[in-house]
Chain A
Amino acid sequence: MVITLFLIITCTFFLMNEMPGSPFQNLDQLTELQYKLLDEKYGFDKPVTERYFTYLKNILHGEFGISLQFNNQSVAKIVFKRFGPSLKLGLQALVVGTLLGVLLGVIAAMKQNSWVDSFCSILAIAGRSVPNFIFAVLLQFVFAVSLKMLPITYDKGSLIGSILPTLALAISPMALSSRFIRTQMIEVLHSDYIELGRAKGANDWQLVFHHGLRNSLIPLITVLGPMIVSLVTGSLVVENIFAIPGVGEQLTKSILTHDYPTIMAITILFSALLIFALFVCDILYRVVDPRLRIEGGSS
């Protein structure tokens, strides 16, 4: 895991160094001396390899540097402040989306080829193919602007203020998990042990939730890891629509303003999250599927 992270840091650092343009504003109005002093202040006067090793040393000490886009602001503070709302909304969206998705998937599988199934399919396809910001605008228009039931923008203080952005972000995990669960569930429902259970007189709901669902979860866990990361890292457009002070928008802005230390810090955060999420998925496999536990134990 550490090696992966190290490789990512290295690649990002050197690629970023090749980016055209300069982080300094009003470049044209600076005198040569001022320019030189700015370079020295941020260490740009040193060769790239030296800067790279200095950077590595600093992050090992937990120092992510000073932002170039916000005067004298520490990068750690910027990223920390922006990550809070994204993490909260992302996790809410994940829970809501996955629960709804599983429910829809199960219903679709049990009522296979009925109108309920078709309805769920349409919902899932729409959820996968229509970008979430379209849903964001729709939700905002219907529930906030027309019906005036919910606030137009995100409000960090209240749960009500986070409902619309959560729903907008939940569409994609809902659609994805409902498709996975449906496919798996149909397969599981036709397997021998379910037939046996049915023969023994267990009712459908019992079979599905006690025996079927657990085995259908494995492929879902595989996609869930990366999905968690993409949810908590925020979405630029959704963040703009609901005026959320999130980290996705910050990353885009940092790239546009050549704020190198902030780009690095956010990249490291995202990579660490992804690595961690994949690790948790590995553990979850074993929790859900006892067969993997035995294999893991023997190897």
Chain B
Amino acid sequence: MKNLVKTVLWLLLAASLLVSCTQSGSSSANQATGKTVLNIAGDGEIPTADSTNTGNTISSGVLYYVQEGLVRLDPDGNPTPGVAESWEVDETGTIYTFHLREDAYWENGVPVVADDFIFSWQRLADPTFAAVSANQLVLSGIVNSEAILAGELPVTDLGIAAPDEHTIVITLVQPNTYFLKEVGSTIFYPLNREFVTGLGDLYATDAEKHLSNGPFTFEEWDGTGLSWSYVKNEYYWDKDSIYLTQINVEVIKDQGTKVSLYEAGELDSISITGDYFAQYKDDPGLVQVPSLSASNVEIGIAHDQNNFEATANGALVNVNIRKALFYAVDREELITYILEGQGTPAVGIIADGIANNPGTGASIGEDTGNQVYFDGDLAREYWEKGLAELGVTSITLELLTSDSDSAKKVGEYLQNQWQEELPGLIIDYVPVVTSVRFERMMNFDFDLALGGWSGGFDPLSYIEQHNITSAHNHSQYVNPVFNDLVAKIKSEGNDVQARWDDIIAAQQILLDEAVEIPLYSGVSNILVASNLHNVYFRSIGGVTVDYTYAYFSGE
């Protein structure tokens, strides 16, 4: 009898296990059978929810969920239909025609029409509005944007027109290979003219004063607070692809608290930094997303020219001295020991993975090979040669960095390594507040400065900063061959292969002359709960971690 009971119990247990197995099997087929509310941690307070005035990742990360532009980007970074359901480009590559879908609505049921884009784009170009990222109009090459921002033409002259309610025509100065990707950016989102002008300066100062047209609506944000949420937008044209009913965001600034909340199941996904990376490096929920931001040391060539006596005896004008510094940094060691594995060594000036050779599909790194490596002997060879040319035995250079903990660690490492590898070199290390570092770089008042560059979709953006016309030519590098090449690249938007080859050639000039010292690209470490699926990760465009289409598997 006792045995019988035992057998029955075992059978019941086995049956229940079987049932639960099939349930979890079917849940992934049907999707969204688990909970539908996602809890995540925010990175910080929202500086602004006004898409026109966005110039930071927190704001654009929030607006990504609640607004939508002409196109969206799929996980591979390719444009897919957004408010525009289709588009074409004319044969000159400068006139884009977008056809807006008829079923795109604002959260109040009003249709999204062409005028919403005209209004938003003209608002962006209006110099009196002084939008922080307005210069993107110029970078993307929108007709007349430069003159409008300088106050020379009225905003109505901007190269955007609406022949009818559902068509938008955008005219560019010259072909731009990456325009379709750029047009999906936050600052180019549409805005409802009536709603925004009705609120004036109060627009988007809290969630009630914001109008959504994206997958979610914006709720429970008081304008400066540490929490808010996104609620599924029933007016969204693609609402059937959205499984989550709500996403709650709470800003948790303390890493330890964030990790505790994740462990307790109160947060479903978080980002972690250095200290906690070691603890989770073998966790199946860990995803490392390369950030494509390039960290480098910029060289103040001009500073040296102007202060020949006062500073480094013209040392940085000497290409051999620059090359010695270039080869004397061990990036592998820097990443392994100083950054605790949080990065990938640079292979060139352009971050690897940003774009691919249109002919072969190879990435920048695969195309050019690793151009940036550590070679102590080579470094010393250049160093001796440089010293001999300058007729000195010792050089003192100032190294400028921000005063954050992470920047100071890298700064101290560089100081130590350069002094060790290059006899006679004295590095005067000066950590300062970021805004001061920035000011000094913009005034060309530095020898060596730890900086970084997050380029756009176009690989040219990484090297263009060394062009003579760029405000970011901190080194004041001047080379007519390079400048002509950049001008040529800008004119050959339609011939993608020639453009690519020239970009590679231009980068080679900068590397051969050691105009900057590339170090590494960063990574973001993201933890995702095991029952959360369909989360997308992106290195560029949109948000790093995209929960828009996510769903939970059932218990």
Known interface pairs A73-B223, A245-B226. Does A29 touch B132 (Cβ–Cβ under 8 Å)? Answer: yes
Q: Which of B135, B222, B227, B261 contacts A152 (CB 8 A)?
A: B261
Pair B132/A24 contact, Cβ less than 8 Å: yes
- On chain B, the residues within 8 Å of A240 by CB distance are 253-254, 257
Provide the residues of chain A in CB contact with B48, threshold 8 Å.
70-72
Chain B hits for A144, CB < 8 A? 260
Q: B146's closest neighbor in chain A, by CB?
A: A31
Of B164-172, B430-438, B521-529, the stretch lying at the interface with chain A is B430-438
Docked pose: A243 CA to B46 CA in angstroms:
15
In the bound complex, CA of A70 to CA of B127 (Å): 20
The answer to whether the Cβ of A129 comes within 8 Å of any Cβ in the partner chain is no
CB-CB < 8 A to B201: which residues of A? 72
Given A72-B202, A243-B253, A29:B222 Cβ within 8 A = no
Note all chain A residues with C-beta closer than 8 A to B132. 24-26, 29-30
Q: Is the CB of A34 within 8 A of B149?
A: yes
Evaluate whether A31 and B135 lie within 8 angstroms (CB atoms) in the complex, with A25-B55, A145-B263 already known.
yes
Of A56-64, A76-84, A118-126, the one with at least 4 CB within 8 A of chain B: A76-84
B439 touching A81, Cβ below 8 Å: no
CB pair A137–B256 under 8 Å, yes or no, is: yes
Once bound together, how far apart are the Cα atoms of A37 and B202, in whole Å?
19
User: Given contacts A21-B436, A71-B53, is CB(A241)–CB(B134) below 8 Å?
Assistant: no
Query: How far apart are A169's CB and chain B's nearest CB, in angstroms?
Result: 16
Specify which of A28, A140, A241 is in contact with B472 (CB 8 Å cutoff).
A28
B128 within 8 A of A: yes
Closest to A35 in B: B130
Find out whether the CB atom of A241 lies under 8 angstroms from the CB atom of B439.
no
With A20-B433, A72-B202 known to touch, is A33 a contact of B223 (CB < 8 Å)? no
Q: Which residues from 21 to 75 on chain A have a C-beta closer than 8 Å to any C-beta of chain B?
A: 21-22, 24-35, 37-38, 41, 67, 69-73
Chain B CB within 8 A of A271 CB? no
Cα distance, A137 to B435, chains bound together (Å)? 32
Contacts of A242 in B (CB 8 A): 257
Q: Which residues from chain A contact B471 at a C-beta distance below 8 Å?
A: 28
Q: Across the interface, which residues of A come within 8 angstroms of B227, CB to CB?
A: 245
Within 8 A of B (CB), among A208-262: 240-243, 245, 249, 253, 258
> Which residues of the partner chain B approach A241 to less than 8 Å between Cβ atoms?
254, 256-257
The answer to whether A153 has its CB under 8 Å from any CB of chain B is yes
Q: How many angstroms from the CA of A33 to the CA of B132 in the assembled complex?
A: 12
Q: Mark B438-464, 1 if CB is under 8 A from A, else 0.
A: 110010000000000000000000000
Query: Could you say which of A35, A67, A140 contacts B257, with CB atoms under 8 Å apart?
Result: A140
Contacts of B434 in A (CB 8 A): 21
Docked complex Cα distance between A22 and B50 (Å): 21
**Is B272 part of the contact surface with A, judged by Cβ < 8 Å?**
no
Closest B residue to A23 by beta carbon equals B435
Bound Cα distance from A20 to B131, whole angstroms: 23
How distant is the Cα of A21 from the Cα of B434 in the complex, in angstroms?
Answer: 8
Taken together as a complex, chains A and B put the C-alpha atoms of A35 and B132 apart, in Å, by: 10
18 other A-B residue contacts (CB within 8 Å) besides A32-B150, A33-B149, A153-B250 = A20-B435, A21-B436, A25-B56, A27-B442, A31-B150, A33-B151, A34-B127, A35-B130, A37-B127, A37-B128, A70-B224, A71-B47, A72-B203, A73-B205, A73-B223, A73-B224, A153-B252, A243-B253
Nearest first, the 3 closest Cβ-Cβ pairs linking A and B are A21-B435, A71-B48, A26-B132
Task: Please name 10 pairs of A and B residues whose Cβ atoms are closer than 8 Å in the assembled complex, sorted by A.
Answer: A21-B433, A26-B55, A31-B149, A72-B50, A72-B202, A72-B203, A152-B261, A152-B264, A153-B252, A245-B226
Chain B positions near chain A (C-beta within 8 angstroms): 45-50, 53, 55-56, 127-128, 130-135, 149-151, 201-205, 222-227, 250-254, 256-257, 260-261, 263-264, 266, 433-436, 438-439, 442, 471-472
A contact residues vs B (CB 8 Å cutoff): 20-22, 24-35, 37-38, 41, 67, 69-73, 77-78, 81-82, 137, 140-141, 144-145, 148, 152-153, 240-243, 245, 249, 253, 258
